Amino acid sequence: MERGGADAIIVTGLKTGEPPLLRLLELTKKYSRVPVLAGSGVTAENINRVLKLVDGVIVGSYIKIQGRAGNPTDPKKARQLILKTRELI
């Protein structure tokens, strides 16, 4: 962050689609001087817990058909996530 001049820190799970540990998000946010983003594993089911700990999220495979990166967007899942997020902010 300091040497590289990062504008934000992205915290991910161990693989695509896997959420980061909530404790890791919490600690990263506590000690970071730049925004912290959850970079994987965000779903309509966990967005409420994740958004309490970070400044933003990056969503990719969750809103894709069959949850696979590279597939077209699943409008129903995207809408569900957007509506849930709007309830929280």
Report domain extents, the chain. 9-88
* 0.85 surpassed by pTM: yes
Fold of 9-88: TIM Barrel (3.20.20)
Do 36 and 28 contact (CB within 8 A), yes or no?
A: yes
What span, in angstroms and rounded, lies between the C-alpha atoms of 38 and 75? 22
In tens, the pLDDT along 7-32 reads 999 999 998 889 999 999 999 999 99
pLDDT value of residue 65: 96
